Amino acid sequence: MTAIVPPVRQGGGLTSGEAARRLERDGENVVPRAAPRNLPGRVARQLADPMILLLCAALGVVLVLGDRVDAAIIGAVVVLNTVIGVVQEVRAEHAVAVLDELASPEARVRRDGRYVELPAAQLVVGDEVRLEAGDVVPADLSLVEAVALEVDEAAMTGESVPVRRDTGAEVLSGTVVTRGRAVAEVVRTGAESGLGRIAGLIAATGLRPTPLQRRLSRLSRQLVWITAGLAALVLVLAVLRGAPLADSLILAVSLAVAAIPESLPAVVSVALALGALRMARRSAIVRWLPAVETLGSVSVLASDKTGTLTEGRMAVRRTWTAEGGCEVDGPAYGRGGALRGESANGAAVERLLRDVVLCNDARLTPAGDTWTGIGDPLEVALLVAAARLDERLLEASHEWRRIDEVPFDSETRSMTTVHENDAGARLSVVKGAPEVVLDRLADTAGANRARAEAQAMARAGLRVIAVVEVPVAGAPELAGLIGMLDPPRDDAAAVVSACRAAGIRPLLVTGDHAETALAVARQVGIARPDGEVVDGDVVARGEHVDRVDRIDVYARTHPEQKVDIVDAWQARGHVVAMTGDGVNDAPALRRADIGVAMGRHGTEVARQAADLVLADDDLRSVVTAVAEGRRIYANIRTFLRYGLSGGLAEVLVILLAPFVGIATPLLPGQILWINMLTHGIPGVAFGGEPLDPRLMQRPSPSPERSVLGDGLVRRILVGGAMIAAVSIAGGLLARAFAWPTTTVVFLTLGLAQLALALALRAPRSTRGLGERALEVSVAVAIGLQVLAASWTPLQDLLGTRTVEPAAWAAVLTLALVPGVAVKMTTDRRRGRTAQPASSPGSGASPSWK
Between the alpha carbon of residue 683 and those of residues 404, 427, 753, 768, the distances in Å are 66, 72, 11, 20
Q: Which of 193, 392, 215 is nearest to 294 (CA)?
A: 215
For residues 732-738, average pLDDT = 95
Question: Strand, helix or coil at 97?
Answer: helix
Summarised one tens digit per residue, pLDDT across range 749-801 is: 999 999 999 999 888 766 555 567 889 999 999 999 999 999 999 999 889 99
Cα distance between residue 265 and residue 684, in whole Å: 9
Least confident stretch, 2-16, 119-133, 149-163, 707-721 = 2-16
**Residue 154 predicted with pLDDT over 60:** no
Q: Which residues contact 640 (CB under 8 A, 6 or more apart)?
A: 261, 264, 707, 708, 712, 716
pLDDT of 534: 94
Cα distance between residue 276 and residue 97, in whole Å: 11
* Count of all residues that appear for the chain in the document: 849
Question: Strand, helix or coil at 182?
Answer: strand
For residues 96-124, average pLDDT = 75
pLDDT of 515: 82
Residues annotated as catalytic are 304
Q: What percent of the chain has pLDDT over 70?
A: 81
pLDDT of 631: 87
Cα distance between residue 778 and residue 784, in whole Å: 10
Cα distance between residue 610 and residue 68, in whole Å: 54
Backbone angles phi, psi at 160, to 5 degrees: -80, -15
pLDDT of 779: 93
Q: Which residue has the higher pLDDT, 69 or 691?
A: 691
In terms of average pLDDT, the best of 100-104, 459-463, 755-759 is: 755-759
Q: Which residue has the higher pLDDT, 210 or 111?
A: 111
pLDDT of 4: 36
One-letter amino acid of 627: A
For residues 596-600, average pLDDT = 78
pLDDT of 842: 38
* 9 band by pLDDT with thresholds 50, 70 and 90: very low
What's the whole-model pTM score?
A: 0.67
For residues 528-534, average pLDDT = 92
pLDDT of 121: 87
* 834 band by pLDDT with thresholds 50, 70 and 90: very low
Find the Cα–Cα–Cα–Cα dihedral 603, 609, 612, 616, rounded to 10°: 0
For residues 699-706, average pLDDT = 70
Cα distance between residue 163 and residue 142, in whole Å: 15
Cα distance between residue 846 and residue 776, in whole Å: 42
* 158 band by pLDDT with thresholds 50, 70 and 90: very low
Least confident stretch, 10-24, 118-132, 322-336, 590-604 = 590-604
pLDDT of 722: 97
* 683 band by pLDDT with thresholds 50, 70 and 90: confident
* 573 band by pLDDT with thresholds 50, 70 and 90: confident
For residues 404-424, average pLDDT = 86
Cα distance between residue 825 and residue 827, in whole Å: 5
Q: Which residue has the higher pLDDT, 776 or 311?
A: 776
Summarised one tens digit per residue, pLDDT across range 34-51 is: 556 677 877 777 777 666
Cα distance between residue 122 and residue 29, in whole Å: 6
For residues 178-200, average pLDDT = 79
Helix pair angle (50-64, 68-102), 10° resolution: 160
Backbone angles phi, psi at 305, to 5 degrees: -100, -65
Strand pairing report for 576-580 and 300-303? parallel
Summarised one tens digit per residue, pLDDT across range 360-378 is: 988 888 888 888 887 777 8
Domains and CATH numbers, the chain: 16-30+106-201 (2.70.150.10), 39-97+209-281+625-833 (1.20.1110.10), 290-310+488-617 (3.40.50.1000), 315-475 (3.40.1110.10)
Q: Which residues contact 815 (CB under 8 A, 6 or more apart)?
A: 726, 747, 748, 751, 752, 754, 755
pLDDT of 703: 64
Summarised one tens digit per residue, pLDDT across range 266-310 is: 677 667 766 777 787 777 877 766 677 778 888 999 988 877 788
Please give the DSSP secondary-structure letter assigned to residue 514.
Answer: H
Q: Report the sign of the C-alpha dihedral through residues 743, 745, 747, 750, in that order.
A: negative
One-letter amino acid of 752: A
For residues 488-512, average pLDDT = 89
